[in-house]
Structure formats: C-alpha cells, structure tokens
C-alpha cells in the first residue's frame, strides 16, 4: 500500500536524499521517494507492518530535519515552511548583531580578556547551535561524515586555537548562505509547483435538476456537471450546453484562451473565464488530464539523471576523504618535520570549511528541477531528470504522421468508381463497412456519406490493424481498406495515383472503387523539423501506416530525411530498432507519436514523446515526455532547455570543484585565511544555486 506525506519546510536537496534513505531503511517500508519539488514523501508500505508507520516515518524525518512538519496527505496540515523561514531570518539578524558587538569589543582597552570571546561564543551559539546539535546527534546515531560535522569540527577547532571571530563568522556566513539557498530553491520550485494548482477542489454535479457540490472523485463517467465562470474544469468531458472561453495556460503554456461550445472537448485543469458550461463527463477523476499531470509532476523527481546519481555517490565518498586529509594536514607535518601545532591545526580546520560539498549536492538536483519547470511553462511535461538529460543526446527523431505531423482531420477529396458502380455506390459501401469504426478515416467517410447506415443489417464486422475492415452488408461481404487488404482477399484492383490516403472498396469479391482522403499538414510541423536540425538532430524520419507514396509526399514537403509507409504497429517497432542499430556513437533515438498503436514504439524508443492534448491515454502513459499542445515544435524547445540544463550542471561542477581545489591547495600550504575558506564554501554554494535557479526563470 502507498502512503503519501507532505513535508512542510523541506528546501534542501541533500536533506531530501538523507530522509529518503532513512525512510527506506524502516521496517515495513519497501520503497520511498522524496520529491523536493512538491515537498512530498511517497512510501510503499507492507500492509501487515502499516500500524504506526506514520509515527515511525515522522521520527525518521525529524531525526534529520527537526524543523520539518510531517503530515499524511489529506489530513490537516501544519504549515512549517513560511514560519521557519521567518524564524531563520530573525535568528540570523540577532546573531549578526551580537557578532558585530564582538568585533567592537576587540578594540577598546581595559576590558577583561574574556569579554570578546564570550560575545563571539554567544553569537556562535545563536547562529550555529542547531548545526552543533545535529552533528552531535548524528555522531551518536553513527552518521558522522556530513556537512554538520565539517562545520562543527572546523569552528570548535577555531575556538580552541583562539580564532574566535573566524569561528563565529563561519557560522554567520554559513547560515546566510543557507537562507539564500532556501529562497532560491523555493523560487525554482514555483514553476513546477504551479502545475499542482490545476487540482480541482470540487465539482458541481447536476442531479435531478439540482446542483450538488461534491468532490471530483465522486463524479462518474456519463454524469453532467456545471462549470461556472472563474471555476476550474474538474473533469474531462464534452460540452453539451453553453459557450465560453477557457484559459488553458496551466496545461499547454498557451496564454491565448480557447473558445468552446457544444460538442467541444474540455480538459480538467482549464479555467472557465466567462460563460456557464454544462459538461458531460467522459472520464473519472483518476483518468482525467489534471490527475495524470499531477501524477507526472509528483513522480518526476524520482527519476534522477546520471549527474544526480554521480553527485550523490561523490558526496558519500568525498566527505570522509577530506576529513581524513584534514586530520593528516593537522597532525602529520608537525610529527614528521616539526613546526607549530597551532599553524598546522589551523590549516586542517581551513581544509574542513573549504571542503563542504554543499555547492554540488544542492545545485545539481536544483538544475534539473529548474529544467523540468522551464519545460512545463512551455507546455512540455518531462517525467524525470533522466529524460531531460537524455534529450541532450538525441540524434535521430522519428515521427508518426497522422495526428503528429498532420492534423489528423480527414476529408473525402475524391471518389473513383469501377466495374460499373457509381460514386454513390462507392461511398455507400465504404460507409457501411466503416460504420463501427472510430478511426478518423472511417469518421470522414461517414461524414461525407451523410446518410444513416442500418447497423442492424451489418454482421461479421472485423477490423485488421493496418489493413482495413470487413463486414457483411445485407448478405454481401464488403471490404474497405488498403491495397494489401484487396490482395489478401484475391480481389483485382487498380492502384489510384496522387496524394492522399486511399481506401479501396470491394463488395461480393468485386472491386467497387476507391475513396481518396486527404489530411492537412500542421503549420507547426515545418518549423519543428527546422528547429530540431538547428538544435543538432542529425536525422529526421517518418513512419506511418499510410500509403508509401503519401508518406513520401509529406516527407518531401516537410524536408524529412527518410519516410516509410504501409507499416503495421509491429513493423514500426522493428523500424525503430533498425534505426537504433544505425545510431552513431552515443546518439539516442526519440519517437514522437499520438495514437494507441504508437504505444509500443514509444516504449521501445530511447525517448518516447507523446501528444498530450489529443493523443491517446495509452500513448501518454507509455511516453517519457508529453507535449500538451500537440505541437511538434515544442520538442525543439524542450531540447533547448535540456541543453541549457546540461550547460549549467557542467558549469556548476567545474566551478565548484575548481574553486574548492584551488582553495584546498592554498589552505593546505597556509596561503588562505578562514574568511577565504568561508567564501570557498558558502560563496561557491550560493553562486552555484543562483546559476541553477536561472533555468527555472527561462521563458
């Protein structure tokens, strides 16, 4: 069973990783994942061990971060984040004032020798008392090597050797940096957390002529709801009465409202701007767009990029190593070569302050959070940092055609009768055969026919994926589909030339004629191909079940490198695997599709990209990235954000390690002061966090 907890006040990536590890180690917990973005903890709990699990999880969280309020999702929450932020700011101001008083007392003569040290000690306890307490508590629990231990050992050592101002200053600047880091983390989280606001609070259920306000979970498919101006659409459905403008920005990133009226589809999470809408619900809340987006956001942080895994492992080995090196710097030289113990101890303490890995531990995850947030602003949902990282290495992009590069809105543009049949006969037989199909081609034929089909007279309906349909119409076997269907049935036919999808129709074993159906290319598709090439994509390919000549015509118009038509779903998977075998060096392959039959290919590709606005639920579930606007050019924007994220991550790694390496060397040789050590720790951390935060602000 799954338990979800809200962690109010969580703003530290390193703390989140420690909490996750501690909860995972609890008896009865099979897995745990902390999401810094949403401030939530998800734990899979063995039912027979579930008793008292909330108390044990709360204790584990408080064991690492006492200031975090733990509340089970759905229960009354204790807001701790904002209050904690104010308390930290007040403590920082008071501690800084006492520190300044200590500096003032170092100058006047006639004061007792212990006056200034006492004031600095008071400042130290105000600013760093919690750090010392956490270090001692962690040591007692067997967790020695962390940033609390580094700061405590360095500052207490500074007091011992008489560096009172420096000891208090380390805590002052450390807490200042922590405060700014927390603010930067909260700012970067907003762009993603804003998506959580699409969660509907209630639904206006229309029942027996009365409007009942109820939870969205209580509304069933087929029920009618009323959406008033200013309210969020709580569930997916179809407008039956009314007309209004919908704000879809939360879902698609589009600032321009969309007009809806009777028969139009509306998605949960949109905001109704003016008119009153009566909506027939088509999906329960668990299956609705808003629910799925929220689930995507909540799970995004659990799928970490390789860089994040590297930093976690790096910090685990790095901290003990630098503690040992600091101890060796302080003890070995005086023993072997002589020299003042005080000087070498001071160098060892400087080494500890400089070595704190906060800059990397905090800024790297924050960079990926920022990248996911920037993508969400553009209507692109990335299911995890690993997929954002993977976009950097995509060299081959494979597209489906219908609904992806084309609008998927078909119209009958030509009728060619044969063997003495009329155009009316061709359309009538085709409409009868396609009567039970909801494929866009079938719907376009039914629309062109315009009349009513007597479905009671239809028997033996059968649909063959990628080929077409067959049915008994008044005792006559009617086939409608591709040329391959005619060949399989042994029916002689003539191939129709020209662009467009061809539906060949046969009745009673005789070819009746051909229906030509055209699909319009999305105006966004050309821009998508151009921008992907500019972003460094080497090859663009199109795979479609449509006729090979149509595929070739569309590919030529869009400037695609390759196009393959007449493919069944299994053949698409085979083509993707074949393309994958030809990828160069470390290139990855991305597949972009929207239909149910694209789900296997999306799952097989290195990076699966689904159209989320009109795409099927199966495609969205199978994909790694979802384009909420159904615009393929959004993928190019996501690639740009992925590239920026990688640049920032690399900048932070090089900058942090470079500065620390330089100052560690200077500190070991006695050429750095405690003030410079503080910059190498707090200053580098703050600059790295601010660099990461700029990704989330990218428009």
pLDDT in tens, 319-347: 778 778 878 888 888 877 766 777 787 78
Instruction: Report the DSSP pairing between strands 562-564 and 588-593.
Output: unpaired
CATH of 385-405+522-623, one of 3.30.830.10, 2.30.33.40, 3.40.50.1000, 3.40.50.2000: 3.40.50.1000
Burial 422-443 (b: 16+ CB within 10 A, else e): eeebbbbbbbbbbbebeebbbe
Check: CB of residue 543 under 8 Å from CB of residue 572. Answer: yes
Is residue 519 within 8 A of residue 503, CB to CB? The reply is no
CB environment 638-652: b (16+ within 10 A), e (fewer): bbbbbebbbebbeeb
Residue 494 has pLDDT above 80, yes or no: yes
Helix axes 633-668, 306-337, angle to 10 degrees: 10
Work out the pLDDT band at 606, boundaries 50, 70, 90.
confident
The pLDDT, as a whole number, for residue 81 is 47
Question: What pLDDT band is residue 201 in, cutting at 50, 70 and 90?
Answer: confident
Q: Are 352 and 135 in contact (CB under 8 A)?
A: no
List the strands of the sheet with 468-473, edge to edge. 406-417, 510-521, 501-507, 476-481, 468-473, 458-464
- Which 8-state DSSP code applies to residue 680? I
> According to the model, what pLDDT value does residue 280 have?
94
407-520 belongs to which homologous superfamily? Calcium-transporting ATPase, cytoplasmic domain N (3.40.1110.10)
- Between 145-159, 184-198, 515-529, the lowest mean confidence (pLDDT) is in 184-198
Active site annotation includes 681: no
Helices (H), 69-108: 81-105
Among 37-51, 82-96, 125-139, 345-359, name the most confident range.
Answer: 125-139
What mean pLDDT is predicted for residues 419-444?
86
Residue positions counted in the chain: 699
Tell me if domain 199-298 and domain 385-405+522-623 are identical in fold: no
pLDDT band at 79 (very low <50, low <70, confident <90, very high): very low
- Please report which confidence band the pLDDT of residue 80 belongs to, taking 50, 70 and 90 as the band edges: very low
Least confident of 262-266, 457-461, 511-515: 457-461
pLDDT at 298 over 70: no
pLDDT above 90 for 583: no
Q: Which helix (DSSP H) or strand (DSSP E) does residue 471 occupy?
A: strand 468-473
pLDDT over threshold 90, residue 544: no
The architecture (CATH level 2) of 2-79 comes to 2-Layer Sandwich (3.30)
pLDDT in tens, 273-290: 888 999 999 988 877 777
* Predicted pLDDT of residue 27: 84
Burial letters 241-275, b for 16+ CB under 10 A, else e = ebebbbbbbbbbbbeebbebeeebebbbbbbbeeb
The pLDDT score that the predictor gives to residue 530 is 93
Q: What is the CATH architecture assignment of 199-298?
A: Distorted Sandwich (2.70)
CA R_g for the chain? 32
Whether residue 664 is predicted with pLDDT greater than 90 in this model: the reply is no
Domain ranges across the chain? 2-79, 83-192+302-368+645-696, 199-298, 385-405+522-623, 407-520
What is the enclosing helix (H) or strand (E) of 540?
strand 539-543
The one catalytic residue in 236, 247, 400, 547 is 400
- The torsion angle over the Cα atoms of residues 130, 136, 139 and 141, rounded to 10 degrees, is -80
- Report pLDDT digits (tens) over 348-384: 877 777 776 666 666 777 778 778 878 877 878 887 7
Burial environment of residue 299 by CB neighbours within 10 A (0 to 12, 13 to 18, 19 or more): middle
The pTM of this model reads 0.65
Which residues contact residue 402 at a Cβ distance below 8 angstroms, ignoring those fewer than 6 apart? 408, 440, 519, 544, 546, 594, 595
């Amino acid at each position: 069973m799954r338990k979800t907890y809200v962690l109010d006040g969580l703003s530290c990536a390193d703390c989140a990783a420690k909490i996750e590890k501690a909860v995972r180690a609890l008896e009865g917990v099979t897995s745990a994942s902390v999401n810094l973005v949403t401030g939530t903890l998800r734990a899979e709990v063995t039912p027979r061990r579930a008793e008292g699990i909330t108390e044990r999880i709360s204790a584990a969280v408080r064991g690492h971060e006492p200031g975090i309020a733990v509340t089970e999702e759905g229960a009354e929450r204790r807001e701790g984040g904002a209050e904690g932020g104010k308390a930290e700011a007040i403590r920082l101001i008071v501690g800084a004032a006492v520190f300044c008083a200590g500096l003032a007392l170092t100058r006047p003569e006639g004061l007792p020798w212990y006056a200034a040290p006492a004031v600095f000690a008071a400042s130290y306890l105000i600013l760093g008392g919690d750090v010392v307490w956490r270090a001692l508590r962690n040591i007692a629990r067997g967790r020695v090597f962390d940033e609390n231990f580094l700061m405590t050992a360095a500052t207490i050592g500074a007091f011992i050797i008489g560096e009172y101002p420096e000891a208090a200053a380390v805590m002052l600047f450390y807490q200042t940096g922590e405060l700014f880091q927390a603010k930067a983390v909260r700012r970067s989280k907003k762009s993603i957390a804003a998506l959580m606001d699409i969660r509907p609070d209630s639904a206006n259920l229309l029942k027996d002529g009365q409007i009942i306000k109820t939870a969205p979970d209580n509304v069933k498919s087929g029920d009618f709801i009323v959406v008033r101006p200013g309210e969020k659409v709580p569930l997916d459905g179809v407008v039956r009465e009314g007309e209004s403008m919908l704000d879809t920005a939360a879902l698609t990133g589009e600032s321009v409202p969309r007009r809806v009226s009777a028969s139009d589809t509306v998605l949960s999470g949109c905001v109704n701007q003016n008119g009153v809408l009566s909506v027939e619900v088509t999906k329960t809340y668990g299956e609705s767009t808003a629910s799925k987006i929220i689930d995507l956001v909540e799970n995004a942080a659990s799928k970490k990029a390789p860089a994040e895994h590297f930093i976690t492992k790096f910090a685990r080995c790095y901290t003990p190593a630098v503690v040992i090196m600091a101890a060796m710097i302080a003890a070995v030289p005086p023993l072997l070569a002589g020299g003042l113990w005080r000087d070498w101890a001071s160098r060892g303490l400087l080494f500890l302050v400089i070595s704190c890995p906060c800059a990397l531990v905090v800024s790297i995850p924050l960079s990926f959070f920022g990248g996911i947030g920037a993508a969400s602003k553009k209507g692109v949902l990335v299911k995890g940092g690993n997929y954002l990282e993977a976009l950097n290495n995509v060299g081959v992009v494979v597209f489906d055609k219908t609904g992806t590069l084309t609008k998927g809105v078909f119209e009958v543009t030509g009728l060619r009768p044969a063997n003495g049949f009329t155009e009316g006969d061709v359309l009538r037989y085709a409409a009868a055969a396609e009567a039970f199909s909801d494929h866009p081609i079938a719907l376009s034929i039914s629309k062109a026919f315009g009349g009513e089909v007597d479905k009671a007279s239809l028997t033996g309906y059968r649909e063959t994926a990628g080929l077409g349909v067959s049915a008994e119409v008044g005792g006559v076997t009617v086939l409608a589909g591709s040329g391959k269907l005619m060949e399989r049935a042994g029916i002689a036919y003539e191939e129709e030339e020209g662009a467009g999808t061809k539906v060949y129709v046969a009745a009673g074993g005789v070819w009746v004629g051909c229906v030509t159906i055209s699909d319009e290319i999305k105006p966004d598709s050309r821009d998508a191909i151009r921008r992907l090439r500019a972003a460094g994509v080497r090859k663009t390919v199109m795979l479609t079940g449509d006729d090979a000549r149509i595929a070739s015509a569309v590919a030529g118009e869009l400037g695609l490198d390759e196009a393959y038509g007449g493919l069944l779903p299994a053949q698409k998977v085979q083509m993707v695997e074949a393309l994958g075998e030809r990828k160069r060096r470390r290139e990855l392959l991305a597949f972009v599709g929207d239909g149910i039959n694209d789900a296997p290919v999306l799952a097989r590709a290195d990076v699966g990209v689904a159209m989320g606005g009109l795409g099927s639920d199966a495609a969205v579930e199978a994909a790694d990235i979802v384009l909420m606007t159904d615009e393929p050019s959004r993928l190019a924007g996501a690639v740009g954000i992925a590239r920026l994220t990688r640049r920032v991550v690399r900048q932070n790694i090089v900058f942090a390690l470079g500065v620390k390496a330089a100052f560690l060397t200077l500190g070991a040789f006695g050429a750095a002061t405690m003030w410079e050590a503080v910059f190498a720790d707090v200053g580098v951390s703050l600059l790295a966090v601010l660099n990461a935060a700029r990704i989330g602000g990218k428009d």
